[in-house]
């Protein structure tokens, strides 16, 4: 960060004390070391690892991504090395960087989530984000985030074994966001991140022998196309919860950051923009600081 003025961009998310509200979103930033040649990751508020499961997952077959108007559909399927390899290979790298990080965990059963949380606790991982809402895997994740009773039981069970900062990542593929937000707070979540990708489909048509043949890619839509959905979601849940909200969904410019903050987000995750502009997260930190300086403010709290 190039700013030298005495400004305060810090924000607290549970027990995490972040130097600024800019966080990289799960699945868009690898395990952080992949971006070393582009930015100084220590300038960011925090990074979220790609989704981590109990055992290694191969993910879905190709094709896995599809560009669409103002967005991207992905069906990666949570390809990852598994929690044990992560702890052995990646956790030491993250700790050496001396940055705030959050690991995103995903399971296909309540037992898997609880075990992942217990392993995180045993390895002194300070923050986990529960992937309760991934629309591009065949089991788990999305279903946990759609059923109120299951969601409450799952978050409560994880809270029993995990003492660090617990973040629940919610889906927009529901019709009662306020109820679900209240539930995860009551169950013991320290923060909410919203929204995950939106369930979507892309259709390609090819004319063969005077008949159309279609190719379908189903997965999660991200990018600017979902920004209005995310803003609406956060605006709806903000009045019913006291815990911090981490907003995401199409954030590309500092104006987007300000809009999310104005409707009640406390921090922001940058996702799809990392693919096309690898330096975007660091740039947004600088841009946010410049906004404060331009308006003669010393902290974000003075802006809203």
Q: Does 67 map to a domain?
A: no
- Check which CATH number belongs to the domain holding 240 and give it: 3.20.20.70
By annotation, the residues acting in catalysis are: 134
Which one is predicted more confidently, 76 or 183?
A: 183
| pLDDT > 70 fraction of the chain, expressed in percent and rounded | 94
78 in Cβ contact with 57 (< 8 Å): yes
Let me know how long the chain is: 304
3-class SS shares of the chain: helix, strand, coil, % to 5:
35, 25, 40
- Residues 68-101: tens digit of each pLDDT: 999 999 888 789 999 999 999 999 999 998 899 9
Q: Is the predicted pLDDT of residue 173 greater than 60, yes or no?
A: yes
Q: Please say whether the beta carbons of 185 and 37 come within 8 A.
A: no
- CA 5 – CA 293 distance, rounded (Å): 8
Report the predicted TM-score, pTM, of the whole model to 2 decimal places. 0.92
Question: Per-residue pLDDT tens for 118-141?
Answer: 999 999 999 999 998 654 444 444
Number of domains in the chain: 1
Whether the CB-CB separation of 17 and 10 falls below 8 Å is answered with yes
Domain of 41 in residue numbering reads as 11-58+78-198+223-302
Any bridge partners for residue 219, and if so which?
A: 200
Please indicate, yes or no, if residue 1 is contained in any of the structural domains. no
Please report whether residue 214 resides in a domain. no
Q: Would you say residue 297 lies in a domain?
A: yes
Confirm if 130 and 140 have CB atoms less than 8 A apart. no
């Amino acid at each position: 960060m190039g700013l030298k003025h005495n400004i305060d961009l810090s924000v607290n998310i549970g027990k995490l004390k972040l130097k600024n509200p800019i966080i990289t979103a799960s699945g868009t930033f690898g395990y952080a070391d992949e971006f070393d040649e582009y930015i100084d990751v220590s300038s960011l508020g925090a990074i979220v690892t790609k989704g981590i499961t109990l055992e290694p997952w191969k993910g879905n077959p190709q094709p896995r991504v599809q560009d669409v108007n103002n967005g991207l559909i992905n069906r990666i399927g949570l390809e990852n090395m598994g929690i044990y390899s992560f702890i052995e290979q990646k956790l030491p790298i993250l700790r050496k960087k001396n940055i705030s990080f959050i690991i995103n965990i995903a399971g296909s059963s309540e037992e898997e989530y609880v075990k992942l949380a217990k392993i995180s606790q045993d390895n002194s991982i300070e923050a986990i984000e529960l992937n309760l809402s991934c629309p591009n895997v065949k089991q788990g994740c999305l279903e946990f985030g759609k059923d109120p009773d299951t969601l409450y039981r799952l978050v409560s069970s994880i809270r029993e074994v995990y003492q660090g900062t617990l973040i629940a990542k919610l889906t927009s593929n529901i019709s009662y966001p306020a109820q679900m937000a209240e539930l995860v707070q009551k169950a013991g979540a320290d923060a909410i991140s919203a929204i995950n990708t939106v369930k979507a489909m892309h259709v390609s048509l090819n004319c063969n022998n005077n008949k159309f043949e279609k190719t379908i890619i189903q997965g999660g839509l991200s990018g600017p196309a979902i920004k209005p959905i995310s803003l609406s979601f956060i605006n709806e849940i903000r009045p019913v919860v006291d815990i911090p909200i981490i907003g995401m969904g199409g954030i590309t410019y500092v104006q987007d950051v300000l809009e999310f903050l104005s409707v009640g987000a406390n921090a922001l995750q940058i996702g799809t923009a990392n693919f096309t502009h690898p330096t975007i997260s660091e740039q947004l930190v600088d841009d946010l600081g410049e906004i404060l300086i331009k308006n003669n403010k010393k902290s974000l709290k003075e802006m809203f």
